[in-house]
Amino acid sequence: MRFTPSIFGQLIESLDRRQFQAIVDRHDGDAYDKCFKSWDHLVALIYAQFGAAGSLRALEAGWNANAQHHYHLGCGRLQRSTLSDANRRRPAGIFAETFALLASQLGRKMRREGTAMLRLIDSTPIPLGKLCDWAKSNGRIRGMKV
């Protein structure tokens, strides 16, 4: 039977694993990790963004529901505790440098649009509870903006 890559797999194909591994080696990102490598971490974080996972539990459930695609992505099953540990320990410079590498491959017009998108992300409201009286309410969300 012929293999047909998933749409998510086609998106991941644009990442050069050799260049990514060179970045990981520079930052010593896989120093103490035996099972959950930086590549697994990157793919899981990209999946979380595209899947709009609001929590580690939602990410784990969505990711593990599509286990038949893990082999072709070069990844395995995901556990919340492992992902939480990786988020805490792995250097953020790996992902910043990977983003810079991908952004350098874009044309000038797309880079400008990407900069505008980053500004939109930065103005995302953070909801706060009613106990924070100092937080302004705009009728929808009581909170602050990043």
pLDDT, tens digit (0-9, with 9 covering 90-100), for 8-46 = 888 888 888 999 999 999 999 888 888 899 999 999 999
What's residue 131's pLDDT?
58
Contact 43, 12 (CB under 8 A): yes
Task: Kindly give, in sequence order, each residue whose CB lies less than 8 Å from that of residue 46, ignoring residues fewer than 6 positions away.
Answer: 11, 12
CA distance 60 to 78: 6
Cα 76 to Cα 47: distance, rounded to the nearest angstrom:
13
Contacts of 20 (CB under 8 A, 6+ apart): 38, 39, 42, 98
Question: The tokens of 89 are what?
Answer: 């320990």
Give residue-wise pLDDT tens across range 89-137. Answer: 899 889 888 988 888 887 777 767 766 655 555 555 666 666 566 655 5
